[in-house]
Amino acid sequence: DSWKYAFEESLTEVQGVYATKFKEEIEKNSDNEIQLFPYGTLGESADLMEQTQAGILQFVDQSPGFTGALIPEAQVFFVPYLLPTDQKHLARFFRESKAINNDFKDLYAEQGLELLQMFPEGEVAMTTKEPVNSCEDLNEVKFRVMTNPLLVEAYKAFGATPTPLPWGEVYGSLQTNIIQGQENPTFYLYSTKLYEVTDYITYTGHSNFTTAVMANKEFFDGLSDADKKIVQDAAKAAFEHIVVYQDGLAQQELKKIKETKPSMTVTVLSEEQRSCFKDAAGDVEAKFIEMTGDRGTAILKQFKADLAATAQ
């Protein structure tokens, strides 16, 4: 059969590297064929999700940043400082976490989606037009976030004026000064040329970009057991592939940004400078619980237990 797989990035960005490996594995191990649809071919992230739920697409990569309204618990990724910055710890967490591999699977299933894999895309950095050395510097800054209610709350707690926008509007809105800041992992700042429309990169350590690959559940449930296993194994193989692929990627891409735009100011905030961002985390966590009730509380608890269990 021929299956369609859409994602939110280009073929050479992390989601594209994942999708390419997934396709290779499927095609190597079965007679099925995967057709890849990178960002821009089928619409914004929300459009891809609609098409997947309608069964037009068989596979989709949608980041929790855009899944918040559909699955409120998926907003847990936006509680600041919940995820570690250490890549090895993150990989172990995504590989072994019960919250990720069991609990979230059930929540996605309720929405007609078979969750295949969640994976990290790197520490998120803020890029802005003015320097950011503390929360005060975000005062009056219209800061673009993905369309996720908890991310809006996080940036409110950081002191900014959060502006939720789909990805396609970010570059132009920075260019025309409708927004003055946004956050994304380092590789993406380079690949999408965000450095052209912002002058400061700031690392606060508050978040790691997470994404999720899933299948239309009706389609997945209709597969033979052998095909189900091929799909699941391909998702795992692609995970291990992008973990290795991302080793050193952020440093490498940051170097390219500095070479291309020597005037770019890059700052890693000190512990002291981070304190107001860290202080905001408690409020955001409380908001998460307010938004998601008992189910969110249970996920958060499991998440923390899994993070502790995979710490070394």
Reduced to 3 states, what is the DSSP secondary structure of residue 144? strand
Residue 207, CA atoms < 13 Å, CB-side half-sphere: 30
The residues of the shown chain that bind ligand 6CS, judged by CB under 6 A, are 8-9, 45, 63, 121, 146, 167, 184-185, 188, 209
Closer Cβ to ligand 6CS, 61 or 103, answer by number: 61
Q: Which two tokens stand for residue 121?
A: 């895309």
Closest residue by Cα to residue 107 from 81, 154, 137, 72: 72
Shortest Cβ 16–ligand 6CS spacing (Å): 10
| Separation in Å, CA 171 to CA 141, 147, 185, 189, 195 | 16, 16, 15, 11, 10
Determine whether 4 is exposed, middle or buried from the number of CB atoms within 10 Å of its CB (0-12, 13-18, 19+).
middle
Going by the DSSP 8-state scheme, the letter that residue 101 receives in this structure is I
Shortest Cβ 51–ligand 6CS spacing (Å): 16
Shortest Cβ 216–ligand 6CS spacing (Å): 20
Q: Which two tokens stand for residue 310?
A: 């995979």
Closer Cβ to ligand 6CS, 120 or 296, answer by number: 120
Closer Cβ to ligand 6CS, 8 or 103, answer by number: 8
Shortest Cβ 259–ligand 6CS spacing (Å): 21
Closer Cβ to ligand 6CS, 22 or 220, answer by number: 22
Q: How far is the C-alpha of 310 from the C-alpha of 307, rounded, in Å?
A: 5
Closer Cβ to ligand 6CS, 124 or 300, answer by number: 124
Cβ neighbours for 227, distance < 8 A, ≥ 6 positions apart: 30, 32
Backbone angles phi, psi at 94, to 5 degrees: -65, -30
Backbone angles phi, psi at 85, to 5 degrees: -85, -20
Shortest Cβ 218–ligand 6CS spacing (Å): 26
Shortest Cβ 66–ligand 6CS spacing (Å): 7
Shortest Cβ 87–ligand 6CS spacing (Å): 16
Q: Calculate the CA 296 to chain-centre distance.
A: 19
Closer Cβ to ligand 6CS, 121 or 306, answer by number: 121
Closer Cβ to ligand 6CS, 117 or 184, answer by number: 184
Closer Cβ to ligand 6CS, 58 or 211, answer by number: 211
Cβ atoms of residues 63 and 17 within 8 Å: no
Shortest Cβ 293–ligand 6CS spacing (Å): 27
Closest residue by Cα to residue 208 from 40, 92, 83: 83
Q: How far is the C-alpha of 187 from the C-alpha of 193, rounded, in Å?
A: 10
